Structures are given as C-alpha cells and as structure tokens.
C-alpha cells in the first residue's frame, strides 16, 4: 500500500519504519524543518512502564487546585480558552476510580510492549544512542510512600520488577545523592532506563530512508477533505497526492487535520519543561534516571549531560517560559546533585506542548473514516509508548494479528459520534 504518515516526531518516525518494514511504500510529511523538533526534542527520556499512568486519576483535580498558589509545584493552571475548558471538564469526569483503573491497565499493557519493542529494535538495528539502565524513584517523606502503595500493588500484580529501598540502599545505587536532603524510601526499577528520544528518532529515520521511506519537511499539510480524505495537500491550491491510507501522527495539529471529517479529537497541550547541561564532575552526577516523587521532576543521565524535566502547565502561552517552573527544576537538581552540572552557562532550556487526551491513553488504529488511521494523544509518555504503538498500528493496517490486545486504545473510546 502507498501510505502517508503525517508527523515526524518519534511517533511518526517509528510508525513509518514499521510500515516500511512490512513492505509498504511510505511518505512522511512534517511541517517542521527536521524530525523530532517538538515533543521528541528534549523530553525526560524515561522508559518505565510502571510510571506510565493516566493523568486523570482519583484525587488529581483536588491536587491541581491545592497547588495553584504554590511557588514550587508539579502542576500549573492558567486561564483556559473554550477548547481547554471543555478538555478540563472531560478530564475531571475521567478522574473516577473505575475509569482510571481501566486506563491504567491499558497503558501498562502498551508501555510494557513498547519497552520490549524498543529493546528489540535497538539490538537488531545496532542503534547507538545515549541510554543508561535503572530508574530510581525518591520518596522524600512517609506521605509519598503511603500515596505510592496502591500503584505498587498494581505493579506487583502486573509482574513488574522493582524493589522498595531504604535511604541507605538508595545511596549505594546513586552515591552522589546529597546526604543533607531527607529521604524516607526509594523505589528501584532495575530493568527500566532513560534514553535520548531525539537521537533514537534521528537514527531510525536514517534507517527508514535506507528502506525507501521519503521525508518531506516544511510541508504544511492541509486539513483532510471529507470528499477525498486520502488525498494529501500541502497548500490550499494543491491538487494533492492520493494514497491508499493516511496515518495522522501530528501531535496537537492532528485535531485540526481531522476536523473536516467530523472527528472532533479532544486534544489539549500539557506543557512541560526541561533543562539540559553538561556534567561538571562525573562523581557528583547521577548514574542513570531519578524521579523526585514529591515534585514530579525527573533527573536523567544522558551521556555527558544531565537533563532535568518536569512541571505540567495546562493552558497558557506555549512560547512563554514560566520562571517558577524552571526554578523548580533547578531546585530539585540542586537538592539531590549540587554542583553536578554546569548550570551557569550553555544550558539548553526547552518547553514542549505535549498532546494529551483527557482520559490518558492514546488512540491507535482506524479512525472510522475509510483509509484514515490515527496514532496520537500520547501526552507526556510518547517516548515510552512509541515503539509499541507504531508496531500495533502497522500490524493492524497490514491485516495482521497484533501482539497485544488493543482494547480501549481505539478511537471509539472517545465517543466522538
């Protein structure tokens, strides 16, 4: 089949690779000037199935409200527009226990499969990108430890490998942890990892190109036409190029592309930040991946750099950097690894608009419109879900049996009609 993939982030590139690997003729369209320019550019890099959870969960609404006026907070809420207000209403409704439980299981199923696919691709294709094994979740106080218990029970039932550690045990795994900061417990996931999403995406793009995949950059794809949805136009005057199938992997732009087909995808941006800096002294730096559970901030060792990622901003200006959010990242880094990174010069500051659906999981598969498929709404977990999502979609489009059950991951979950 001749297939168009819209979007060249990690979701689009992995999808293009899997389709080409199954013998399809693939053309990728990207409005940016290169692959992995937006959400795939400088994210935390965490691959941890146990920590891929719906943002819509019991108690989350109160958590957001209670943190509105705090200077160091994992969540910020600006004045929403109409679309964002509608999204927040749907998100609030999805925070009930039954909905969260189902979506948590769906995400765990997909993220575990995706981790396996990433490891398989890395080994089979000999991909060389910054990655380190191990993920340590720091619980500053007993409150964080007690709140983590329900999630830990679910992880045990799912068969995930982890250990609950004392502070002393955690410091043996990460010797550079600042002893002056109180630490009640830690959770260690030895089979998880942190890895450079952008490096992986660019490497896989090169391999996809060697397999015949074409990439068209600076391509402003027009919204799909209801009369001919499998025709791709890159300007209003363009007569278009016909395809057998079109895959929408365009992040936030996906909603606009699909709108003429009467598919009102409830996507909203949940903005996140990262700062990346060169390591000053390796002995003072983390060895792998760290999560500060109280502030929901990740500290990742990526080669000779440290990346600190976190904060969730709903609504607001995607181009404006909120000083307090960045200060939280610097504070958490300084708490745990003071002096580890050169944060006084050449710091890369990034803000990404992560496309999230109100209830959590992405949607993968046919859109309900003949020949139009979707792979979107991965939110802050796009890197952790990309390889599994891409393979499942490619298998579905090719008429093959998927390796995992896609129950609850189809577009019908959104009740758009």
pLDDT for position 74: 72
Cα separation of 307 and 322, whole Å? Answer: 18
Instruction: Please check whether residue 248 is in contact with residue 375, taking contact to mean a CB–CB distance below 8 angstroms.
Output: yes
Q: Which residues pair with 75 in a beta bridge?
A: 312
pLDDT for position 309: 96
Please list, in sequence order, all residues whose beta carbon lies within 8 angstroms of the beta carbon of residue 200, skipping any fewer than 6 positions away.
Answer: 10, 118, 122, 127, 129
Cα separation of 410 and 347, whole Å? Answer: 40
Q: What DSSP letter does each residue of 238-286 carry, written as one string?
A: ---EE-SEEEE--GGGHHHHHGGGT-----EEEEEEEEEEEBS-GGGS-
In the chain (417 residues long), the average pLDDT of successive 10-residue segments reads: 98 98 98 94 94 86 68 76 91 92 94 97 97 96 86 86 96 97 96 96 98 98 97 95 98 96 94 95 94 94 95 83 90 95 92 94 97 96 97 98 97 85
Topology of domain 2-414 in CATH is: FAD/NAD(P)-binding domain (3.50.50)
- Listed by start position, the domains of the chain span 2-414
- Where b means 16+ CB within 10 Å and e means fewer, 368-393 reads ebebbbbbbbbbbbbbbbbbbbbbbb
State whether residue 188 is helix, strand or coil: strand
pLDDT for position 352: 92
pLDDT for position 66: 67
pLDDT digits (tens, 9 = 90+) for 50-95: 989 898 888 777 767 666 666 677 777 778 888 899 999 999 999 9
pLDDT digits (tens, 9 = 90+) for 113-122: 999 999 999 9
């Amino acid at each position: 089949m001749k297939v168009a993939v819209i979007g060249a982030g990690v979701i689009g590139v992995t999808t293009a690779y899997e389709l080409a690997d199954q013998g399809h003729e693939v053309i990728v369209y990207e409005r940016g000037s290169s692959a992995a320019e937006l959400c795939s550019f400088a994210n935390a890099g965490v691959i941890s199935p146990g920590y891929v959870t719906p943002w819509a969960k019991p108690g989350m609404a109160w958590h957001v409200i209670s943190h509105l006026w705090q200077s160091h907070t994992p969540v910020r809420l600006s004045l929403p527009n109409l679309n964002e207000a509608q999204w927040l209403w749907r998100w609030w409704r999805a925070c009930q226990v039954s909905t969260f439980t189902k979506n948590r299981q769906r995400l765990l199923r997909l993220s575990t499969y995706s981790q396996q696919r990433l490891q398989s691709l890395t080994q089979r294709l000999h991909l060389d990108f910054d990655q380190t094994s191990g993920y340590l979740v720091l619980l500053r106080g007993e409150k964080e430890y007690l709140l983590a218990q329900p999630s830990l029970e679910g992880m045990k039932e799912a068969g995930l490998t982890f250990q609950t550690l004392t502070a002393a045990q955690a410091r043996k795994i990460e010797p550079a942890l600042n002893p002056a900061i109180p630490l009640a417990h830690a959770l260690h996931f030895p089979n998880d990892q942190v890895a450079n999403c952008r490096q992986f995406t660019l490497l896989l793009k090169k391999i996809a190109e060697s397999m015949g995949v074409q990439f068209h950059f600076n391509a402003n794809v027009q919204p799909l036409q209801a009369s001919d949805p499998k025709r791709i136009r890159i300007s209003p005057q363009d007569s278009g190029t016909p395809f057998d199938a079109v895959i929408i992997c365009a992040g936030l732009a996906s909603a606009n592309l699909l709108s003429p087909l009467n598919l009102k995808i409830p996507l909203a941006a949940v903005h996140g930040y990262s700062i990346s800096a060169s390591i000053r002294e390796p002995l003072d730096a983390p060895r792998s991946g760290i999560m500060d559970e109280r502030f929901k901030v990740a500290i990742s060792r990526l080669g000779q750099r440290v990346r600190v990622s976190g904060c969730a901003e709903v609504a607001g200006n995607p181009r404006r950097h909120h000083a307090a959010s960045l200060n939280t990242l610097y504070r958490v880094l300084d708490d745990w690894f003071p002096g580890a990174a050169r944060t006084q010069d050449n710091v890369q500051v990034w803000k990404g608009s992560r496309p999230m659906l109100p209830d959590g999981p992405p949607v993968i598969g046919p859109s309900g419109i003949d020949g139009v498929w979707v792979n979107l709404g991965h939110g802050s977990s796009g890197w952790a879900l990309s390889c599994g999502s891409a393979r499942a979609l490619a298998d579905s489009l090719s008429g093959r049996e998927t390796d995992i059950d896609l129950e609850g991951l189809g577009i019908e979950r959104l009740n758009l009609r």
